Chain A
Amino acid sequence: MKTIKELEEIRKKTLDVVNQRKDRTTTRIVVGMATCGIAAGARPVLLAIMDEVSKLGLSDVIVAQTGCIGLCRLEPIVEVIRPGEEKVTYIKMTPDKARRIVKEHVVEGKVVDEYVMHVVDGKVLNDYSVQND
């Protein structure tokens, strides 16, 4: 059974991390969590991201949620915003794809091109990911 004592130990352990988070510029990972996102499977994606962040011990990453981005057919959508870089929008996410993004984009800084939303002449070309699914 989980006890409050355990919680206090976690607190001691994470105290430094909290301070670090305040000082440093952090990467934000944002998951779309409106009705469309939830129905398309955004919750497992969010949990996979949090799990991966915790597994890799990343302290300078914030996982957050947002509402509808307006591209419901492309949900689940994940946005990665690294400090000083342009926002990257990933579409049609799954837990496995999301884990790859944490490993390759958030940690190593390499954008995972095949999952990125492609916009040409103002139109979203989302067929790209269908071929690769």
Chain B
Amino acid sequence: MRELSLHIMDIIENSISAKATLICLEIIEDKNSDILKIIIKDNGCGIDEKDIEKVKDPFVTSRKTRKVGLGIPLFEAACLRCEGRLDIKSAKDKGTEIEAVMKYSHIDRAPLGRIEDTIMSVLLYPQVDILYKHIVNEKEFNFDSREIKKVIGEDLTLPDILQWIKQYIKEGIDEIGGGVY
């Protein structure tokens, strides 16, 4: 994938398939210690303990349409080639947490890309809420789709509203100087 935001989207699609209704996305750009960290947490159905080591294997998938699942292995490969790692923690019926760590300045690290596009596409699922926190050094931007739903009602899937959310997030990320690279 060309952008990390596409990996994030792919992982969130897994969460949604696992019937998650709340997704917490946290991006930490710590330039002082040269670390980029992405944490994706959901309240979906979780992964069985016996399967948790297997999900990094590309030939393991819960899907029925074909026999390979590349989402997690691809993301892990992206981390490993930047001196990083990918950890998965999961509790059955409670949810899953994925933590990806990369060396911020590594030459092979893909840019974060358009996080706002990823969030917008997630919000097309009416049943899903997203809590997004982006930290760049000491600056922070927060977005909570539940707050928006308080103002506008439950249906966020209208194009005008999604456009507003996209702009809002874009401005927020720009303000803290996030995702530049």
Contact = CB atoms under 8 A, between A and B. Distances in A.
* Secondary structure call for the B interface: helix
Interface stretch (B87-95, B99-107, B118-126): B118-126
Interface string A50-68: 1101100000001111011
Interface string A7-27: 110110110011000000000
Contacts of B171: 1-2
B69 A18 contact: no
A6 interface: yes
B152 A64 contact: no
A8 B66 CA distance: 45
B152 A7 contact: yes
B21 interface: no
A35 B117 contact: no
Interface in B18-67: 63, 65-66
Contact of A10 (B74, B120, B125, B160): B160
Nearest to B159: A54
Contacts of B70: 35-36
Nearest to A39: B1
Nearest to A22: B155
B66 A2 contact: no
Contacts of B10: 34-35, 38
A35 to B, nearest CB: 4
Contacts of A6: 164
B112 interface: no
B163 interface: yes
Nearest to B7: A38
B180 interface: no
Contacts of B136: none
B9 interface: yes
A45 to B, nearest CB: 11
Nearest to B166: A47
A67 B17 contact: yes
Interface of B: 1, 6, 9-10, 13, 17, 63, 65-66, 69-71, 74, 117-118, 120-121, 124-125, 148, 151-153, 155, 157-164, 167-168, 171
12 contacts: A4-B151, A11-B151, A35-B10, A35-B70, A38-B6, A50-B159, A53-B159, A54-B159, A54-B163, A63-B124, A63-B157, A67-B17
Given A38-B10, A47-B121, A54-B163, 10 more contacts: A7-B148, A8-B152, A14-B158, A33-B121, A46-B124, A50-B120, A63-B124, A67-B13, A70-B65, A70-B66
